[in-house]
Each structure stands twice: as C-alpha cells, then as structure tokens.
Amino acid sequence: MKKFILSALFSALLIGLPGCSSTPEPPTQSIPPLLEEFQVLSAKILESGDLAAIGTAKSKSLDIALNKAKIDGRIKLADLFEAKIEALPEEVADLIQGLVPKRLEHETTNGVVTAYALMELGPKTLNQKNKTLSAE
C-alpha cells in the first residue's frame, strides 16, 4: 500500500512539474511621465553642449526625497564631468557642490515620494558660479 501511495505521489509530481516549467513574462515597467519629461530636458541640454544629469530619490518625506535627488544629480553630474576632464580640480568640485537644480519636481505614490532633480553644468553655469566665487 505504501508503495502504491508513493508511486502515485511520484507520478503526480512528474506529471505536474512540466506544467510548472513555463517562465512568466517579466512585468513591463513604464517610465513615470515626470522622469520622461526630465529625460527630454536633459537630452536638449546635452545637445546644446552642456552637461546634464537627472537625480532621483524615494522617501516617505518630501524634504528628504528632494535633498537626496539633488545629491544624486550632483554625483551623476560630477561623474559625467570627471569622465570629460579625468581629474576634478578642487575649485571645480566646489562649483559642482554649489549648483542648484535647474528643475526640481516630485510625485507621491502610496505614501512614498519620488523626487527628480535636473542638474546642469555648462560654460554659462561655470562662468556665473566662477564670478560668484570670485566676488566672495
């Protein structure tokens, strides 16, 4: 009797397993409209010859999400700039640290804030920041 039950169970497993082998389709992730808008703005800035980066962050706190998005944008912008120049002089690092976002937006979904910061760095920005630092 035990052999019959075990063989029936084993047979059921063998019959059922091939049906389980199908791989589910990965869920399609859509790009949030606000991020898409920031990507278009970033592409326009890059086409003009300036550098641009989009920082993103999520948090339950709006202030924290916005600050983290600005920091993320500055880091990404510094990485782009570093790739262009190879070594960041300290003065340039100070310029990047003092940059303000060109655009800062957020959206809330299920109590979690997602923030986007568009950071820009180009000749006009560098000249303006340089004049500001020189005046100090």
Q: What is the pLDDT of residues 16-55, one digit of tens each?
A: 545 555 555 666 678 888 889 999 999 998 888 888 899 9
pLDDT at 86 over 60: no
For residue 4, what pLDDT band results from cuts at 50, 70 and 90?
very low
Which DSSP state fits 119?
Answer: E
Put simply, whether the predicted model's pTM sits higher than 0.85 gets the answer: no
CATH of 33-135, one of 3.10.28.20, 1.10.3720.10, 3.40.1190.10, 1.10.287.3510: 3.10.28.20
pLDDT at 114 over 50: yes
Number of H helices, E strands in the chain: 5, 3
The residues spanned by each domain of the chain are 33-135
Residue 134 is predicted with a pLDDT of 59
Residue 55 is predicted with a pLDDT of 92
Which DSSP state fits 102?
Answer: S
In order, the DSSP letters of 46-83 are HHTT-EEEEEEEEESSHHHHHHHHHHHHHHHHHHHHHH
pLDDT at 13 over 50: no
Of 100, 53, 50, the closest CA to residue 73 belongs to 53
Query: How far apart, in whole angstroms, are the C-alpha atoms of residue 54 and residue 81?
Result: 14
Question: Highest mean pLDDT: which of 57-61, 90-94, 130-134?
Answer: 57-61
Query: How far apart, in whole angstroms, are the C-alpha atoms of residue 111 and residue 132?
Result: 39
